[in-house]
Structure 1
């Protein structure tokens, strides 16, 4: 019969476990005390230099090493670069080459990705890692500098991985597994510190931009486009076509008012230039127009970016932030790519537009604002409303004065004046003599479809000015413009937008019918469409009577 253990025996058996539990709790208390102190110190760091001083002072005692690198994921989401590292003059070099990561590397470099995929610190033995022949060059550099182990700890911010902390050991066994939990806590603290410093750097950048716009000595650094928009006003809208002239007329009428404007059109058509012209012609012209690209903002930052926040409103809010609405007081706020605003934020924006007041995050009261809104989008907001991606009440609140900016392919008569404008701009910037534009070049420009619109034309001319060796403009257009007549049909084929092909086909049919749309011998009957449908389609494609003047057409087309 099995003998039952007495309480005294049970007590004796549990003594080692009790000692282990007590020691573990004591270790946790010591770690929490270290992290609490480090968190307080890091929170006081206002710049990279401050953070470097904290790390240099604290790290050697914490893990016994001297070298570290803090790498952050770049904005492209596929590469990483050093944000902060040990002073280079303290790092041993090998053949004059320091091991610091000085360039961007892919986040899938064989080392960085391991840390991102692990919730725990990752220990790398350099000699073993180098046998794989798939590690980045900086591993070899550190090995040659005397490093034998690396400890990688993932850094997170706002629940998302933002980088990796590299710790370097000069001998094997430099890092104790018992301290891994401590290293993970340190990485979390550094993640918050990164956010504060980057946030501060962005604010400083915004303040510099404000000083530029207010005419401080740094104003000379303004971009050409900003100067053109702020100084020339309506004159910055380039074009002689009916569509552009109509826009100029509308801008002259609405500029003195405070009404909300919604700019519609494809990307690259010049919506921002028109917004700048409206502001420059308005009574608010003496104050800077604040611009924000809604597509470039993370969803979690929308409210803070537009409305601002108070100190302590959330983790990492170490100081008050002034939002874009307050910066635009008595001025104009340009909301580019308004269609990208997240649905959950649209109700808050609607309230601001209606009530003319905002609340900072963590604030105790409302702030009245006097701001004119100009919004722009390349999306069809009516379709977005129908699809449930955009609030109908916000759409109607923005759509007070809609202005549709036509694509360049529908106003090709503007190309010559745009070419002259951009040639003058970039020859002045590059201190070059204005090149001669051959007739063939201008003809090619007039026949191109310009899917990138005015922006594509501008960049093409800038590139051509820089690459042209003689005083004659040479261009390099994509598509079938460079195909020779002898080229076979397969080589001569080029992909064009379906809308462009439809427009050209309708034009040919209308010309064949001598400009007649309705009736038994009209274009609508040939195309087997109701005349009202064809008229509506032609209007949408920008086809006007002058486009199908039969004297302009000498070709015959067989219509099926």
Structure 2
């Protein structure tokens, strides 16, 4: 005894097998969010009535169309396999480095015809029906005929589903009707899959933001506020107040240890984006082969070790701010990639073909002379001008001599409170020494010197222990003519003293770089420049 539903299907499609097909497709589409599995079920279900070699789903993204999912019967399906992997197995000769294989301008693709007419587009013999630029690539891939049907969901044009044959063939009216009904079911599956992808992307972004915020809490310096009242600092604060409410790109310049990251934090906190994450990237700390993955993320299988999809820092900063520290260390290749993000506000993950919009404010910082690097051809001029929309110079501590007493009081108070000590004043000679010293490591060096002094302090008066600063620092103000020559010896003596304390250890939380408040790479460079034999200090008490 046939059910009423079954009878209605048979009246519409003429045969029980076609009616059963629709039911099977609906079941497959509703039970799985992975489109590749739905497409595989379609190929199998269509065999009794229509023979196809492949099914492809294209998604419209603005002015482009992207190949979202693909199933080719002869190569089968592997769980979680990417479109790139399917193509590589089916046609090893196809150049996957060319984005045109996976993503096309909409006007150059047959999906544009489907989108404008919202009707099926049929090619029964592709060799004699080459209407679109991408038809040539389809022929090279082995396609000889196909029917492309619109994917509509609640009136919205999502894209198209293509039923592909590697042989010339025609499509009768009944078959077209059947495939149209199938495409309506596929539309639901595509809509669900896209919604699932969006939810996953938001989930990954929230997880990444959470990790970054936790890292920020752990790694945040004790110096959380910009302290001082000198004219040079007031100029910086005025610049922050002017640029913070805008979305303009900011380039912060200045020596190592001058508080460039604090300026970036201050801009973000005063901006409309303050409710979202400020994501920090140290461009010098990342190996050149990993920086693209770190900034833009990667797809599963994009390279050896990419065991799962991972979003990059730009995605994690979506709606917020990204702080690119030591921007002058970017490779030429990454300079081009960053320029594209700044110009077009979009990027792709490594190994991916889906374009991701970048709603991110960029703040960059460098201790390099980028103008000189541009003149020498080491930094792209167009990228420099994109970054240098609103420059802010972070003054060195030498330019902020008037702020030293305030900074010293601030640091002593903070460290003494943290260590449970009562220190109420600073020795006058110690303060005079601080004011004479050149501070090559700037505020970061001052912070570390005071922390060490508070640890060693026994009474209520802060005094500088002998050997804490280079021996000739007391004479720096009395002999300004020799200051530049003395600075080299001061730096060498200071680094050697810290290397002795750390037994030659450079990196890590207890290393010399951390104590000096500078990156390990910077310290290594200074050791080489000053011709210090770091190996002499290893193992020495």
Q: TM-score, normalised by structure 2?
A: 0.48
Q: TM-score, normalised by structure 1?
A: 0.47
